[in-house]
Amino acid sequence: SGVMGGLTAAHAADMVKEDDDQAKKLAYVADATKTKNTKYVAGQVCSNCALYQGKAADAAGGCAFFPGKHVAGKGWCSSYVKKA
Ligand code: SF4
């Protein structure tokens, strides 16, 4: 998957893509408001999920479910856990 990163992205983690195997398993979307998943509750986004490794204001950050990649801060997946 790193092959497509290109030179300019060499130092940034690859973004998770919605058609990645793990993303499909977890019903990940880069824009939470676009999901049709029945588990989704309005207001849930990666940046307020307990598993998000970026800061709340970051556009993207790591996620425990996607090692070595970044998820969108405004993304969402079906394993969302509200940050305590
Ligand atoms: Fe986003 Fe949380 Fe799902 Fe990771 S577990 S992709 S941070 S909603």
Asked if 14 and 69 touch (Cβ cutoff 8 Å), the reply is yes
Average pLDDT of the chain to the nearest whole number: 91
Give pLDDT, residue 58: 95
Cβ 65 under 6 angstroms from ligand 1:
yes
Give pLDDT, residue 46: 98
Average pLDDT over residues 22-37: 98
Q: Tell me: the pLDDT tens digits for 30-61?
A: 999 999 999 999 999 999 999 999 999 999 99
Candidates 39, 42, 21, 31; CA nearest to 80 is 39
pLDDT > 90 fraction of the chain, expressed in percent and rounded: 83
Select the more confidently predicted residue: 15 or 13: 15
Q: Return the best residue to mutate from 24, 39, 52, 55 for the ligand 1 pocket (most ligand atoms within 8 A of CB).
A: 52
